[in-house]
Amino acid sequence: MDYKQIARLIAKSRKITPAKVYVEGEFRRVDFKNAAFQAFGEGSFWILIGDYEEIRKWMARHRARIVDNHMEVTARYSALPLIDLKTVQARVEPGAVIRAGARIGRDCVIMMGAVINIGAELGPRTMIDMNAVLGARAIVGRNCHIGAGAVIAGVLEPPSRKPVVIADNVLVGANAVVLEGVKVGKGSVIAAGAVVLKNVPPGVVAAGVPAEVIKSVRDIGNREKIAILKNLRGHRK
C-alpha cells in the first residue's frame, strides 16, 4: 500500500470503541441472539466483548435486569485493530503496540512500549527497543537494532510518497530520528540523538543535528559498541 491507500483505508474504516463489560444479572443465551458483540457466561454472570456502542444499546434495553456491571474500554473510535499476535513468529514483550498491516519478520524482538504502524516491515532478527516508533510503511532490514526512543518516520502526515528504508545490519542509536524518504545504507550506524535528513551511505557512522557522516564503521575501535547479540533473538527456547 502507498500512503494514499493507507489514508483511504483509515478514512473509510468503521470506527469502533473496543470494550469488555462484566455484567451481573440473570440472562439466558437467547437474550444475546443476534447481538452485534460476543457474550460469554451463564446464569447471573456474563462477559460482553465488542463495540461499546452496540453493548451500550443492549444494556439500555435490559437495564431492569442488570444488577451491576464493570466496563473496560481499550480505545476510542479506533480505525484499525492491532495485529493478531498469534500470527507473529517473533518475541513481542508486553506493552508493545503493533497495528494490523505491519509485517514482522521471524525472530524479531519487539520491546516494551514500541509502536509499529500499519504497512511497516521488519526483516528477520531485527530488534525494536523500548519506546521506539516505526511510522506507516517504514522498512527496516534484517539484523538491525532500532534503539530506545528512536523514531523512524512514517508517510501519512505530513504525507510522503517514499518511506524510510533502513538496510540490513544497521544500528540506530537511542532517541535518533530518521525522517521521511531517507535511506540508510547497509551496516551503517546512526548515533544516539542524531536527526537524519538525507540518505546515509553503507558502512558509515552518521551523527549530529542534522546528521553528517563522521567516519567509517571500520574506524570504530570498540566493536562491542555496535555488536548485535544473536542470542537475544529468537522466539523459542
| Sequence ranges of the domains in the chain | 15-73, 85-232
C-alpha cell at 104: 514482522
What is the band of 54 on the pLDDT scale with cuts at 50, 70, 90? very high
Phi, psi of 167 (to 5 degrees): -75, 180
pLDDT at 131 over 70: yes
Over residues 186-213, mean pLDDT? 97
Distance CA 57, CA 183 (A): 50
pLDDT at 205 over 90: yes
Q: Can you give the pLDDT at residue 34?
A: 93
**Amino acid letter at 132?**
A
Q: Can you give the pLDDT at residue 118?
A: 94
The CA-to-CA distance between both ends of the chain, in Å, stands at 35
Distance CA 81, CA 191 (A): 34
15-73 has CATH 2.130.10.10 classification: no
Residue 36 near residue 55, CB atoms below 8 Å: no
Residues 6+ apart with CB under 8 A from 128: 96, 108, 109, 110, 111, 114, 116, 122, 134, 140, 146
Determine what percent of the chain is predicted with pLDDT higher than 90. 84
- Arch. (CATH architecture) of 85-232: 3 Solenoid (2.160)
Q: Can you give the pLDDT at residue 236?
A: 66
Distance CA 142, CA 199 (A): 19
Tell which wins on pLDDT, 230 or 117.
117
- Whole-structure pTM value: 0.88
CA distances from 119 to 5, 12, 51, 139, 140 (A): 10, 17, 25, 9, 11
Which pairs with CB-CB distance under 8 Å and at least 24 residues apart come from 88-92? 89/235, 90/235, 91/233, 91/234, 91/235
Q: Please name the residue ranges forming H helices in the chain.
A: 3-12, 52-61
Q: What is the pLDDT of residues 88-126, one digit of tens each?
A: 999 999 999 999 999 999 999 999 999 999 999 999 999
Cβ atoms within 10 Å of 228's Cβ, excluding its own: 15
Q: Can you give the pLDDT at residue 230?
A: 77
Q: What share of the chain is helix, strand, coil (3-state, %, to 5)?
A: 15, 30, 50
Q: What is the pLDDT of residues 132-162, one digit of tens each?
A: 999 999 999 999 999 999 999 998 888 888 9
